[in-house]
Amino acid sequence: MTESTPEQAATHITVHGTAPYDVVVGRGIVATLPTVLGERVNKVLIVHPPTLGAAAGRLRELLLETYSEVLLAEVPDAESAKRVEVAAFCWQILGQADFTRTDAIIGFGGGSVTDLAGFVAATWLRGVKLVQIPTTVLGMVDAAVGGKTGINTAEGKNLVGAFYAPAAVLADLNNLATLSPNEIRAGFAEVVKCGFIAEPEILDIVERDVDLAIDPTSDEFRRVIELSIGVKARVVSEDFTEQGQREILNYGHTLGHAIEHAERYQWRHGAAISVGMMFAAELGRLAGNLDDAAVDRHRAILELLTLPVEYPAGRWPGLLSAMQRDKKARAGMLRFIVLDRIGKPAVLAGPDETLLFTAYQAIAS
């Protein structure tokens, strides 16, 4: 990781592996997109949600100065984008425009849009150039960074997908200027997750002054974003296809994904993961390793961010069924990431259902 100066210089965080790429953090860095795409590209497709139509149009005008054809694919916002029908719509555009392997796709939006764009790029002609431009906190620190792409099915979230590395990720902090405080706080679930599993400095910054921490114009905000991306970059560099260490990034996600499914994806991802992390903390305590103070710290930090830490008591049977279908289960055995202590994650495989139910009761409303 190359540190930036305190002013306007960009920070480059490299994700290593068979296809290394940089996550670039800064302000106004979208202007470097033609340099990132390079000269071999001829046609570009920008995948974006309706809320970014005007911004996508401006991005198109920028690229038309360099490339012969720049198309826009407006897709639904949030999880509604991650459907096979939407992917097929994008494939149709690519086919009608005769996109070749030397052309490129831009994912311009939140995590759902970058997941979709990545999946389309991975599957069209078995792989075309991809650049992700995340426009949400969640997208910057999580969805756009690790090369995991996918769409949802009626059976669950992200069950169809591919591991596919982008050419670059441009995390332009200026794109966050119009986000609502609630959207930023929801995205911070993934930020503090990185604090719990690997970078306690993130937790210290949030506890010291939560308003500064979530202010996109502050130095504190940029610091926690860079720390979070650094966590993901290090883990993904060592385990791109989630065969081992990358599993720690699922902290809070096993129950969190089940909640999203139960709520028909009407809950924000961060809200569901917040409840999932609280459950994982209680599970870690019951498993005998995580102390009371660390569990209490989870609750205090998530409540500082006004994120939920409870879920209705009567929903457990449906959640358990959804978790058993989750792609993180192996041979029917549930696996949870828990903490031995803050900054030290571990895998809890095949826990007794009584233990799971007891942990759930601790967060049940």
Q: Please indicate if the annotation marks 73 as binding a ligand.
A: no
Beta bridge partner(s), residue 153: 156
Task: Give the Cβ contact number of residue 313 at 10 Å.
Answer: 11
* CATH 1.20.1090.10 boundaries in the chain: 181-207+240-363
Asked whether residue 257 is marked as a ligand-binding residue, the answer is no
Please check if 80 is assigned to a binding site: yes
Q: What angle do CA 148, 132, 248 make, to 5 degrees?
A: 30
Output the pTM of the full model.
Answer: 0.91
Classify strands 335-341 and 168-172 as parallel, antiparallel or unpaired: unpaired
What's the pLDDT score for residue 154?
Answer: 84
Q: Binding site annotation covers 190?
A: yes
- Establish whether 136 is an annotated binding residue: yes
Structure tokens at 222: 């940029």
Output the pLDDT for position 4.
Answer: 42
Please tell me the total number of residues recorded for the chain in this structure: 365
Binding residue per annotation — 148? yes
Expressed in angstroms, the distance from the first to the final Cα of the chain is 43
CB neighbours of residue 141 within 10 Å: 29
d(CA 70, CA 62): 10
> Any binding-site annotation on 14?
no
CATH class of 11-176: alpha beta
Question: Is 269 labeled as ligand-binding?
Answer: yes
Asked whether residue 129 is marked as a ligand-binding residue, the answer is: no
Ramachandran quadrant class, 17 (left: phi over 0; alpha: psi -120 to 50; beta: rest)? left
Q: pLDDT truncated to tens, each residue of the chain (365 aa)?
A: 344 444 468 999 999 988 899 999 999 999 999 999 999 999 999 999 999 999 999 999 999 999 999 999 999 988 899 999 999 999 999 999 999 999 999 999 999 999 999 999 999 999 999 999 999 999 999 888 888 899 988 877 788 999 999 999 999 999 998 899 999 999 999 999 999 999 999 999 999 999 999 999 999 999 999 999 999 999 988 877 766 678 899 999 999 999 998 998 889 999 999 999 999 999 999 998 899 999 999 999 999 999 999 999 999 999 999 898 775 666 568 999 999 999 999 999 999 999 999 999 999 98
pLDDT at 226: 97
Residue for token pair 């490339």: 67
In the chain, ranges of CATH 3.40.50.1970 domains:
11-176
Which tokens hold the place of 17?
A: 């592996």
Judge whether 241 is annotated as a binding position: no
* Residue 260 annotated as binding site: no
Q: Is 199 annotated as a binding residue?
A: no
> What is the structure's pLDDT at 333?
85
- Fold annotation for 181-207+240-363: Dehydroquinate synthase-like, alpha domain (1.20.1090)
Q: What is the pLDDT of residue 2?
A: 40
According to the annotation, is 298 in a ligand binding site?
Answer: no
Taking phi over 0 as left and psi of -120 to 50 as alpha, with beta for the rest, 346 belongs to beta
